Homo-oligomer: A and B are copies of this chain.
Amino acid sequence: MYVNRHYHIYSTVRWSRKPLFNAALYSAAIIVLYELTDIPFSLPWQPISVIGIAVAFYLGFKNNSSYDRGWEARKIWGAIVNDSRSLAVGILSLPAAGVSSEWKKTFVFRHIAWVMALKHAMRKRKSWEHESKLENLVFTPYFREEGLNGMDIELEKYLKSEEAQRFKTFTNIPIHILKAQSLELKKLEESGGITEYKHVWLQQLIARLIDSQGASERIKNFPFPRQYASTGLFINYIFCALIPFGLLDIFTQSELLHYWLTVPFSTIIIWIFFLVDRIGDYSENPFEAGYNDVPISSISRVIEIDLLEMLEEKEIPQPYPVENGFLM
Protein backbone atom coordinates (compact mmCIF):
# COMPACT_ATOMS: atom_id res chain seq x y z
CA MET A 1 0.00 0.00 0.00
CA TYR A 2 1.32 3.38 -0.99
CA VAL A 3 0.81 5.87 1.81
CA ASN A 4 1.79 9.23 0.38
CA ARG A 5 -0.72 11.63 -1.05
CA HIS A 6 0.03 10.93 -4.70
CA TYR A 7 2.31 8.74 -6.74
CA HIS A 8 4.89 10.82 -8.54
CA ILE A 9 4.04 11.18 -12.22
CA TYR A 10 7.58 10.11 -13.03
CA SER A 11 7.29 6.81 -11.17
CA THR A 12 3.92 6.19 -12.80
CA VAL A 13 5.40 6.73 -16.24
CA ARG A 14 8.31 4.48 -15.39
CA TRP A 15 5.94 1.82 -14.09
CA SER A 16 3.94 1.90 -17.32
CA ARG A 17 6.84 2.55 -19.67
CA LYS A 18 6.33 -0.66 -21.60
CA PRO A 19 2.82 0.06 -22.91
CA LEU A 20 3.78 3.69 -23.40
CA PHE A 21 6.77 2.73 -25.53
CA ASN A 22 4.84 0.11 -27.47
CA ALA A 23 2.04 2.55 -28.17
CA ALA A 24 4.48 5.09 -29.57
CA LEU A 25 6.23 2.51 -31.69
CA TYR A 26 3.03 1.08 -33.04
CA SER A 27 1.57 4.46 -33.94
CA ALA A 28 4.80 5.54 -35.58
CA ALA A 29 5.04 2.34 -37.59
CA ILE A 30 1.59 2.94 -39.05
CA ILE A 31 2.34 6.52 -39.98
CA VAL A 32 5.66 5.57 -41.52
CA LEU A 33 3.96 2.90 -43.58
CA TYR A 34 1.33 5.44 -44.62
CA GLU A 35 4.08 7.90 -45.57
CA LEU A 36 5.92 5.30 -47.60
CA THR A 37 3.09 3.48 -49.31
CA ASP A 38 0.46 6.18 -49.53
CA ILE A 39 -2.25 3.58 -48.96
CA PRO A 40 -5.17 5.27 -47.17
CA PHE A 41 -4.96 3.33 -43.93
CA SER A 42 -7.45 5.42 -42.10
CA LEU A 43 -10.72 4.24 -40.58
CA PRO A 44 -13.72 6.36 -39.57
CA TRP A 45 -13.65 7.54 -35.96
CA GLN A 46 -17.34 7.24 -35.09
CA PRO A 47 -17.61 3.46 -34.74
CA ILE A 48 -14.24 3.39 -32.99
CA SER A 49 -15.64 5.74 -30.36
CA VAL A 50 -18.56 3.35 -29.75
CA ILE A 51 -16.01 0.62 -29.08
CA GLY A 52 -14.22 3.08 -26.82
CA ILE A 53 -17.33 3.64 -24.76
CA ALA A 54 -17.88 -0.10 -24.41
CA VAL A 55 -14.25 -0.47 -23.30
CA ALA A 56 -14.69 2.37 -20.80
CA PHE A 57 -17.68 0.56 -19.33
CA TYR A 58 -15.71 -2.63 -19.09
CA LEU A 59 -12.74 -0.99 -17.42
CA GLY A 60 -15.09 0.74 -15.01
CA PHE A 61 -16.58 -2.61 -14.06
CA LYS A 62 -13.13 -4.15 -13.66
CA ASN A 63 -11.74 -1.31 -11.53
CA ASN A 64 -14.81 -1.36 -9.38
CA SER A 65 -14.53 -5.08 -8.76
CA SER A 66 -10.82 -4.88 -8.02
CA TYR A 67 -11.42 -2.08 -5.58
CA ASP A 68 -14.17 -4.07 -3.89
CA ARG A 69 -11.89 -7.08 -3.56
CA GLY A 70 -9.23 -4.96 -1.93
CA TRP A 71 -11.69 -3.29 0.40
CA GLU A 72 -13.22 -6.61 1.39
CA ALA A 73 -9.73 -7.99 2.06
CA ARG A 74 -9.04 -5.00 4.27
CA LYS A 75 -12.29 -5.53 6.13
CA ILE A 76 -11.46 -9.16 6.78
CA TRP A 77 -8.10 -8.25 8.26
CA GLY A 78 -9.83 -5.52 10.23
CA ALA A 79 -12.06 -8.22 11.68
CA ILE A 80 -8.96 -10.24 12.50
CA VAL A 81 -7.59 -7.26 14.44
CA ASN A 82 -10.85 -6.84 16.31
CA ASP A 83 -11.35 -10.50 17.15
CA SER A 84 -7.70 -10.85 18.19
CA ARG A 85 -8.15 -8.02 20.65
CA SER A 86 -11.45 -9.43 21.90
CA LEU A 87 -9.89 -12.87 22.31
CA ALA A 88 -6.96 -11.49 24.29
CA VAL A 89 -9.23 -9.36 26.47
CA GLY A 90 -11.43 -12.41 27.03
CA ILE A 91 -8.50 -14.66 27.90
CA LEU A 92 -7.29 -12.08 30.40
CA SER A 93 -10.64 -11.41 32.04
CA LEU A 94 -12.79 -14.56 31.87
CA PRO A 95 -10.85 -17.54 33.37
CA ALA A 96 -11.04 -18.32 37.06
CA ALA A 97 -8.70 -16.66 39.54
CA GLY A 98 -6.37 -19.67 39.74
CA VAL A 99 -5.39 -19.77 36.08
CA SER A 100 -1.72 -18.87 35.77
CA SER A 101 -0.63 -15.86 33.79
CA GLU A 102 1.90 -18.23 32.18
CA TRP A 103 -0.97 -20.21 30.64
CA LYS A 104 -2.57 -17.01 29.44
CA LYS A 105 0.69 -15.85 27.90
CA THR A 106 1.18 -19.15 26.07
CA PHE A 107 -2.35 -18.93 24.72
CA VAL A 108 -1.99 -15.37 23.47
CA PHE A 109 1.45 -16.18 22.00
CA ARG A 110 -0.07 -19.08 20.10
CA HIS A 111 -2.65 -16.68 18.77
CA ILE A 112 0.08 -14.35 17.50
CA ALA A 113 1.66 -17.37 15.84
CA TRP A 114 -1.65 -17.97 14.07
CA VAL A 115 -1.62 -14.41 12.75
CA MET A 116 1.94 -14.85 11.46
CA ALA A 117 1.19 -18.22 9.85
CA LEU A 118 -1.88 -16.81 8.11
CA LYS A 119 0.11 -13.80 6.87
CA HIS A 120 2.71 -16.03 5.25
CA ALA A 121 0.07 -18.37 3.80
CA MET A 122 -1.58 -15.38 2.14
CA ARG A 123 1.65 -14.36 0.41
CA LYS A 124 2.29 -17.63 -1.46
CA ARG A 125 2.11 -17.02 -5.20
CA LYS A 126 -0.93 -18.20 -7.19
CA SER A 127 -0.92 -19.07 -10.88
CA TRP A 128 -3.02 -16.01 -11.84
CA GLU A 129 -1.01 -13.48 -9.89
CA HIS A 130 1.77 -11.31 -11.24
CA GLU A 131 5.12 -13.02 -11.33
CA SER A 132 6.72 -10.64 -8.94
CA LYS A 133 9.72 -12.23 -7.35
CA LEU A 134 10.30 -11.18 -3.79
CA GLU A 135 13.93 -10.51 -4.71
CA ASN A 136 12.84 -7.68 -6.98
CA LEU A 137 11.06 -5.65 -4.33
CA VAL A 138 13.95 -3.19 -4.11
CA PHE A 139 11.87 -0.39 -2.66
CA THR A 140 10.92 -2.33 0.44
CA PRO A 141 14.06 -4.11 1.71
CA TYR A 142 12.60 -4.73 5.17
CA PHE A 143 9.58 -6.48 3.70
CA ARG A 144 11.73 -8.38 1.22
CA GLU A 145 13.79 -9.75 4.04
CA GLU A 146 10.67 -10.77 5.94
CA GLY A 147 9.42 -12.61 2.89
CA LEU A 148 12.71 -14.33 2.10
CA ASN A 149 13.18 -15.39 5.71
CA GLY A 150 9.89 -17.22 5.55
CA MET A 151 7.48 -18.22 8.23
CA ASP A 152 9.71 -20.28 10.51
CA ILE A 153 11.50 -17.49 12.34
CA GLU A 154 8.27 -15.80 13.28
CA LEU A 155 6.55 -19.01 14.30
CA GLU A 156 9.38 -20.06 16.56
CA LYS A 157 9.31 -16.72 18.30
CA TYR A 158 5.82 -17.45 19.62
CA LEU A 159 5.62 -21.24 19.71
CA LYS A 160 7.55 -23.90 21.52
CA SER A 161 9.82 -25.65 19.08
CA GLU A 162 8.18 -29.08 19.12
CA GLU A 163 4.72 -27.51 18.71
CA ALA A 164 5.93 -25.52 15.71
CA GLN A 165 7.34 -28.70 14.16
CA ARG A 166 4.07 -30.54 14.61
CA PHE A 167 2.01 -27.78 12.95
CA LYS A 168 4.32 -27.80 9.95
CA THR A 169 3.28 -31.34 9.04
CA PHE A 170 -0.22 -30.17 8.04
CA THR A 171 -1.49 -28.89 4.71
CA ASN A 172 -3.16 -25.85 6.22
CA ILE A 173 -1.09 -24.68 9.20
CA PRO A 174 -3.25 -21.85 10.59
CA ILE A 175 -6.41 -23.97 10.87
CA HIS A 176 -4.52 -26.49 12.98
CA ILE A 177 -3.29 -23.75 15.30
CA LEU A 178 -6.93 -22.76 15.85
CA LYS A 179 -7.85 -26.38 16.46
CA ALA A 180 -5.07 -26.52 19.07
CA GLN A 181 -6.48 -23.41 20.75
CA SER A 182 -9.88 -25.12 20.96
CA LEU A 183 -8.39 -28.18 22.59
CA GLU A 184 -6.54 -25.94 25.07
CA LEU A 185 -9.81 -24.30 26.04
CA LYS A 186 -11.40 -27.70 26.44
CA LYS A 187 -8.61 -28.79 28.78
CA LEU A 188 -8.97 -25.54 30.69
CA GLU A 189 -12.65 -26.24 31.31
CA GLU A 190 -11.98 -29.84 32.27
CA SER A 191 -9.45 -28.68 34.82
CA GLY A 192 -11.98 -26.23 36.26
CA GLY A 193 -10.18 -23.13 34.97
CA ILE A 194 -13.21 -21.73 33.23
CA THR A 195 -16.95 -22.20 33.41
CA GLU A 196 -18.80 -23.91 30.60
CA TYR A 197 -20.63 -20.77 29.60
CA LYS A 198 -17.50 -18.65 29.25
CA HIS A 199 -15.77 -21.53 27.50
CA VAL A 200 -18.41 -21.63 24.80
CA TRP A 201 -18.19 -17.88 24.31
CA LEU A 202 -14.44 -18.12 23.76
CA GLN A 203 -15.10 -21.05 21.43
CA GLN A 204 -17.45 -18.78 19.46
CA LEU A 205 -14.63 -16.26 19.14
CA ILE A 206 -12.47 -19.07 17.72
CA ALA A 207 -15.27 -19.79 15.25
CA ARG A 208 -15.19 -16.14 14.18
CA LEU A 209 -11.45 -16.41 13.60
CA ILE A 210 -12.09 -19.54 11.52
CA ASP A 211 -14.55 -17.46 9.51
CA SER A 212 -12.04 -14.67 8.96
CA GLN A 213 -9.32 -17.11 7.94
CA GLY A 214 -11.72 -18.75 5.49
CA ALA A 215 -12.77 -15.39 4.07
CA SER A 216 -9.16 -14.36 3.59
CA GLU A 217 -8.42 -17.65 1.83
CA ARG A 218 -11.50 -17.13 -0.34
CA ILE A 219 -10.17 -13.83 -1.70
CA LYS A 220 -6.73 -15.33 -2.11
CA ASN A 221 -7.90 -18.49 -3.87
CA PHE A 222 -10.74 -17.17 -6.02
CA PRO A 223 -9.39 -14.69 -8.54
CA PHE A 224 -11.31 -12.02 -10.35
CA PRO A 225 -12.84 -14.46 -12.89
CA ARG A 226 -10.32 -14.87 -15.70
CA GLN A 227 -12.96 -14.83 -18.43
CA TYR A 228 -13.85 -11.25 -17.45
CA ALA A 229 -10.22 -10.22 -17.11
CA SER A 230 -9.25 -11.70 -20.46
CA THR A 231 -12.20 -10.25 -22.35
CA GLY A 232 -11.41 -6.84 -20.93
CA LEU A 233 -7.83 -7.16 -22.08
CA PHE A 234 -8.73 -8.31 -25.57
CA ILE A 235 -11.26 -5.60 -26.29
CA ASN A 236 -8.87 -3.02 -24.90
CA TYR A 237 -6.21 -4.28 -27.30
CA ILE A 238 -8.58 -4.13 -30.26
CA PHE A 239 -9.68 -0.61 -29.36
CA CYS A 240 -6.11 0.58 -28.96
CA ALA A 241 -5.06 -1.09 -32.21
CA LEU A 242 -7.74 0.87 -34.06
CA ILE A 243 -6.98 4.26 -32.51
CA PRO A 244 -4.14 5.35 -34.85
CA PHE A 245 -6.19 4.48 -37.92
CA GLY A 246 -9.07 6.56 -36.64
CA LEU A 247 -6.90 9.51 -35.74
CA LEU A 248 -5.16 9.37 -39.09
CA ASP A 249 -8.57 9.77 -40.70
CA ILE A 250 -9.29 12.83 -38.59
CA PHE A 251 -5.91 14.47 -39.06
CA THR A 252 -5.85 13.93 -42.81
CA GLN A 253 -9.25 15.63 -43.04
CA SER A 254 -7.88 18.74 -41.42
CA GLU A 255 -6.10 21.17 -43.63
CA LEU A 256 -4.19 22.84 -40.86
CA LEU A 257 -2.91 19.84 -38.94
CA HIS A 258 -0.25 17.47 -40.03
CA TYR A 259 -1.00 13.76 -39.89
CA TRP A 260 2.21 13.15 -37.96
CA LEU A 261 0.34 14.48 -34.94
CA THR A 262 -1.34 11.08 -34.97
CA VAL A 263 1.71 9.62 -33.25
CA PRO A 264 1.78 11.58 -29.97
CA PHE A 265 -1.99 11.78 -29.78
CA SER A 266 -2.49 8.02 -30.28
CA THR A 267 0.23 7.35 -27.77
CA ILE A 268 -1.50 9.42 -25.11
CA ILE A 269 -4.91 7.83 -25.60
CA ILE A 270 -3.52 4.30 -25.70
CA TRP A 271 -1.45 5.03 -22.61
CA ILE A 272 -4.49 6.28 -20.71
CA PHE A 273 -6.53 3.19 -21.50
CA PHE A 274 -3.69 0.84 -20.63
CA LEU A 275 -2.95 2.72 -17.44
CA VAL A 276 -6.55 2.41 -16.28
CA ASP A 277 -6.55 -1.28 -17.23
CA ARG A 278 -3.30 -1.99 -15.37
CA ILE A 279 -4.41 -0.18 -12.24
CA GLY A 280 -7.33 -2.56 -11.96
CA ASP A 281 -5.11 -5.47 -12.92
CA TYR A 282 -2.53 -4.74 -10.23
CA SER A 283 -5.13 -4.15 -7.54
CA GLU A 284 -7.06 -7.32 -8.26
CA ASN A 285 -5.13 -9.61 -5.95
CA PRO A 286 -4.77 -7.92 -2.59
CA PHE A 287 -2.29 -10.48 -1.26
CA GLU A 288 0.33 -11.06 -3.93
CA ALA A 289 3.41 -9.72 -2.17
CA GLY A 290 3.32 -6.64 -4.39
CA TYR A 291 3.47 -2.93 -3.70
CA ASN A 292 -0.32 -2.47 -3.88
CA ASP A 293 -1.10 -5.22 -1.38
CA VAL A 294 -3.37 -4.78 1.57
CA PRO A 295 -0.70 -4.16 4.23
CA ILE A 296 -1.09 -7.38 6.18
CA SER A 297 2.47 -7.33 7.48
CA SER A 298 1.84 -4.03 9.14
CA ILE A 299 -1.60 -5.11 10.36
CA SER A 300 -0.04 -8.22 11.89
CA ARG A 301 2.46 -6.01 13.64
CA VAL A 302 -0.36 -3.89 15.08
CA ILE A 303 -1.92 -7.03 16.53
CA GLU A 304 1.46 -8.12 17.87
CA ILE A 305 2.04 -4.80 19.63
CA ASP A 306 -1.47 -4.54 21.08
CA LEU A 307 -1.47 -8.09 22.43
CA LEU A 308 2.05 -7.87 23.89
CA GLU A 309 1.14 -4.60 25.61
CA MET A 310 -1.97 -6.25 27.02
CA LEU A 311 0.26 -9.01 28.43
CA GLU A 312 2.42 -6.23 29.88
CA GLU A 313 5.45 -7.64 28.11
CA LYS A 314 8.64 -5.67 28.29
CA GLU A 315 9.90 -5.98 24.73
CA ILE A 316 7.45 -4.44 22.31
CA PRO A 317 8.47 -4.45 18.62
CA GLN A 318 8.46 -1.25 16.61
CA PRO A 319 5.55 -0.43 14.28
CA TYR A 320 6.13 -1.64 10.74
CA PRO A 321 8.28 0.83 8.81
CA VAL A 322 7.13 2.84 5.80
CA GLU A 323 9.73 2.22 3.09
CA ASN A 324 9.90 4.65 0.16
CA GLY A 325 6.25 5.42 0.68
CA PHE A 326 5.15 1.80 0.86
CA LEU A 327 3.61 0.08 3.85
CA MET A 328 3.38 -3.65 3.32
Contacts and interface: CB of A to CB of B under 8 A. Distances in A.
Nearest to A211: B82
Interface in A246-281: 246-247, 249-252, 254, 256-257, 261, 265, 268-269, 272-273, 275-276, 279
Interface in A196-228: 196-198, 200-201, 203-207, 210-211, 213-215, 217-218, 222-223, 225-228
| A63, A207, A223, A261 — most chain B CB neighbours (10 Å) | A207
Interface residues of A, number: 125
* Tally of this chain's copies: 5
Contacts of A305: 171-172
B127 A4 contact: yes
B257 A310 contact: no
Contacts of A210: 82, 85-86, 89
Contacts of A233: 6
A142 interface: no
A121 interface: no
Nearest to A39: B256
A132 interface: no
A54 to B, nearest CB: 5
